[in-house]
Amino acid sequence: MRIGIVGCAGRMGRMLVQTVMDADGVTLSGGTEMPGHPLLGEDVSVQAGGAPSGTQMGSDPDALFAASDVVIDFTVQALARLHADLAARHGVSLVIGTTGLQPSDNEGIAAAAKVVPVVQAANMSVGVNLLLGLTRQVAAILGDDYDIEIVEMHHRHKVDAPSGTALALGHAAASGRGTALDSVSQRVRDGQIGSRRRGDIGFATLRGGDVVGEHTVIFAGEGERIEISHRATSRTVFARGALRAALWTKGRQPGLYSMRQVLGLD
């Protein structure tokens, strides 16, 4: 199976390259970065700290999709729609871990999923997907007698907030309560805001250092508090999940899939 990596010189991109190179039964078909990137022309694997792969980093995603069976995308919001369009055009499966997407981006991804298999997830680790299921279950049992707060922390370079995983946890909690997150989400508190509205789901965002990713869902009731947490100490958990998703797409019918389906949790 030929696997391509867009954004191959980023933090996640390098980890994905290493993970693919270390895996059996797959081939690294190549990697791309933005035009003008200083590492263009370098061996994709060598720039990620691995052995030579024989493939050079390029800046043409169209060529990468043409050479791949599946492409993994952990890039930026502005490129998501382009990569979805290319996947559909070339008949290539797509794994998307990019967060901070806009409604128009998701519309493009959904359109591509009518043509090819697409796995999209805010977080591809096994642990986080278990956390999502637990959050939905606990929210359903406790109801709005318990206030829900979601706290997340990431490294100083992360550009979107709250994190995609935090929002996914919010959606899971809201789903457990039988409501829509948009109607109960509280993302900003500053100044004289008054008392907390019953049923709201709050978010707190922390940024600093090199934190890979930490998420805690707090259920605060009268006289007790329940907390469910996940802490990622290495990006390898996301890269392994993405590779698992890429392999899972082989032979699948077109459709928009989640990591819960990849992991057999649905």
Check 37, 114, 155, 158 and give the catalytic one.
158
Please list the residues that pair with 204 across neighbouring strands: 151
Q: State how far Cα 71 lies from the chain centre.
A: 14
Extended strands (E) in the chain: 2-6, 27-32, 70-73, 93-96, 117-120, 147-154, 185-186, 201-207, 213-221, 224-232, 255-257
Sheet strands side by side (includes 147-154): 185-186, 201-207, 147-154, 213-221, 224-232
- Residue 158 annotated in active site: yes
Residue 228 one-letter amino acid? I
C-alpha to C-alpha distances, 18 to 38, 80, 113, 147, 162, nearest whole angstrom? 20, 22, 27, 42, 28
Residue from 83, 154, 171, 215 carrying the catalytic annotation: 154
Q: How many other CB atoms are found less than 10 A from the CB of residue 250?
A: 11
Q: What whole-number distance in Å separates Cα of residue 46 and Cα of residue 2?
A: 18
In 3D space, the residue among 10, 3, 123, 22 whose CA is nearest the CA of residue 64 turns out to be 3
Q: Residue 22 forms beta bridges with which residues?
A: none
Q: Is 154 a catalytic residue?
A: yes
Catalytic machinery residues: 154, 158
